[in-house]
């Protein structure tokens, strides 16, 4: 018979063995599990590409390169990837298409596979969460929005109905250039700025139905937004899982501020349209007078089309971007 101290030691080692048994089984069975998993689902074959570093991937090949497209072309030649090249941009995998034949495969032969555009954090901030047609994933919803644009917003009849707006704004452009050139006494006139105002007024009048009250502010915000769209400059885009980097990224913060400001302007445009509609009688026999009226009519109840508030604002923002 065992003494009391020997029995205690024996019980202790038995309990210890039972506690370590799951860990020992995991150590011995893990290689076999990985082997079976690899046999069942082999890793995908990736295109050739440059060597990668932990965490940052291929980013070190592109830093300090002002012309990123030329840097990618040099990498494709150096690593024998003339058609397709694989890059790991932080946490984001990317495929670079370089040859004409490969581009045809992507854009024509397999266009539905590559139709959806990836939504980075910056694009979500600037493109109204991708609710509009420009960045909506390919599928039923995208086809639904495209039908609204082609049938209701951008049809030949709709474009002809807005001819008077374009002609009036063109006459205003010519008159403004003539007046400014005569007042400057032979000095050059900034025609580019005048054309930008002409395009903005034409588009905003087509959308709202009259001149937008905050047009100058809209042009300033739009110019800032266009300058801020620089692919590959945001750490939050390269490492989307890191909340710390997203919070530290100045680009992401600017994008969020742009989204807040542009959403405020869209709300103001909708309010101005509703005020105008309340004061100006619209002849139902002639249809909608502006694009905002078309969208609001669709939102209220057509059986074929339906728009929620977020999608309506995103479509308006798409129309602004397209100008």
- For 54-79, the DSSP string reads TTTBTGGGTTT-S-HHHHHHHHHHHT
Residue 35 lies in a domain: no
Q: What's the pLDDT at 285?
A: 43
Torsion of CA 276, 278, 282, 284, to 10 degrees: 140
Helix (H) or strand (E) holding 96: strand 92-97
Can you say whether the dihedral through the CA atoms of 309, 313, 315, 316 is positive or negative? positive
Statement to judge: residues 217 and 271 lie in one domain: yes
Phi, psi (degrees; rounded to nearest 5) at 97: -105, 125
C-alpha to C-alpha distance for 51 and 108, rounded to whole angstroms: 30
Give the pLDDT mean for 42-62.
84
Distance CA(317)–CA(126), nearest Å, equals 10
Asked whether residue 298 falls in the same domain as residue 205, the answer is: yes
**57 and 179 in one domain?**
no
Percent of all residues in the chain with a pLDDT value above 90, rounded to a whole number: 4
Cβ partners under 8 Å of residue 117, min gap 6:
123, 134, 135
- 232 and 288 share one domain: yes
Q: Taking a C-beta distance cutoff of 8 angstroms, is the pair 214, 224 a contact? A: no
Residue 33 within a domain: no
What angle, rounded to 10 degrees, do the helices at 291-301 and 250-279 form? 90
The CATH number given to whatever domain includes residue 311 is 1.10.630.10
Q: Are 176 and 56 part of one and the same domain?
A: no
| Same domain, residue pair 255 and 294 | yes
Last residue of a domain, one of 114, 130, 159: 114
Do 80 and 150 belong together in one domain?
A: no
168 located within any domain: yes
Sequence-separated contacts (24+) of 166-174 with Cβ below 8 Å: 166/202, 169/198, 169/201, 169/202, 169/205, 170/198, 172/198, 172/201, 173/197, 173/198
User: Among 114, 148, 165, where does a domain finish?
Assistant: 114
Share of the chain above pLDDT 70, in %: 73
Task: Report the pLDDT value the prediction gives residue 98, as an integer from 0 to 100.
Answer: 86
Give pTM, 2 decimals.
0.67
- Does residue 17 form part of some domain? no
Q: 285 and 191 share a domain?
A: yes
CB contact set of 136 (below 8 Å; sequence gap of 6+)? 130, 142, 145
Q: Which two tokens stand for residue 1?
A: 């018979």
Decide if 125 is inside a domain.
no
Considering the domain boundaries, does residue 192 fall inside one? yes
| Mean pLDDT for the chain overall | 77
Mean pLDDT in residue range 188-200? 86
Question: Tell me: the pLDDT tens digits for 167-182?
Answer: 999 999 999 888 888 8
* Residue 81 tokens, joined: 């990837």
Cβ-Cβ contacts under 8 Å for 222 (sequence gap 6 or more): 200, 262, 320
Give the bridge partners for 61, in sequence order. Answer: none
Q: Which structural domain, as residue segments, surrounds residue 61?
A: 45-114
Q: Which two tokens stand for residue 130?
A: 């991708």
Give the separation between CA 258 and CA 266, rounded to whole angstroms: 12
Residues 148 and 98 in one domain: no
On whether residue 256 sits in a domain, the answer given is yes
User: Total structural domains in the chain?
Assistant: 2
State the Cα–Cα distance between residues 141 and 133, nearest whole angstrom: 9
C-alpha distances out from residue 105 to 32, 84, 99, 114, 118, Å: 40, 11, 10, 10, 19
Same domain assignment for residues 145 and 213? yes
Mean pLDDT comparison of 27-36, 59-68, 285-294, highest-scoring range? 59-68
- Residue 101 shares a structural domain with residue 170: no
Binned at pLDDT 50, 70 and 90, residue 305 comes out as: low
Q: Are residues 84 and 197 in the same domain?
A: no
pLDDT in tens, 195-228: 888 888 888 888 888 888 888 888 888 777 666 5
HSE at residue 177, side-chain half, CA atoms within 13 A, is 16
Residue 38 lies in a domain: no
Token reading at 67: 């012309």
């Amino acid at each position: 018979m065992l003494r009391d101290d020997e029995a205690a030691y024996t019980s202790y080692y038995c309990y210890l063995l039972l506690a370590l048994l799951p860990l020992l089984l995991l150590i011995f069975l893990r290689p076999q599990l990985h082997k079976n998993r690899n046999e069942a689902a082999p890793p995908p074959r990736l295109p050739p590409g440059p060597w990668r570093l932990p965490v940052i991937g291929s980013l070190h090949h592109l830093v300090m390169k002002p012309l990123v497209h030329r840097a990618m072309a040099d990498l494709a030649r150096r690593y024998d990837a003339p058609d397709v090249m694989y890059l790991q941009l932080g946490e984001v995998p990317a495929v670079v298409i370089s040859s004409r034949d490969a581009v045809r495969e992507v854009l024509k032969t397999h266009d539905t596979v590559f139709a959806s555009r990836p939504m980075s954090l910056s694009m979500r901030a600037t493109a109204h969460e991708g609710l509009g047609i420009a960045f909506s994933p390919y599928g039923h919803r995208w086809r639904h929005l495209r039908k609204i644009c082609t049938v209701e917003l951008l049809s030949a009849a709709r474009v002809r109905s807005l001819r008077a707006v374009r002609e009036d704004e063109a006459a205003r452009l010519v008159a403004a250039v003539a007046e400014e050139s005569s007042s400057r006494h032979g000095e050059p006139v900034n025609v580019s700025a005048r054309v930008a105002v002409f395009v903005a007024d034409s588009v905003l009048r087509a959308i709202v139905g009259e001149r937008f009250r905050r047009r100058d502010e809209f042009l300033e915000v739009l110019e800032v937004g266009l300058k801020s769209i620089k692919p590959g400059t945001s750490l939050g885009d390269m490492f989307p899982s890191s909340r710390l980097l997203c919070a530290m990224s100045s680009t992401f913060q600017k994008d969020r501020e742009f989204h807040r400001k542009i959403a405020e302007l869209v709300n103001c445009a909708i309010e101005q349209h509703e005020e105008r509609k309340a004061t100006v009688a619209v002849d139902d026999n002639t249809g909608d007078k502006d694009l905002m009226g078309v969208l609001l009519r669709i939102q209220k109840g057509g059986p074929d089309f339906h728009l929620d508030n977020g999608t309506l604002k995103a479509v308006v923002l798409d129309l602004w971007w397209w100008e």
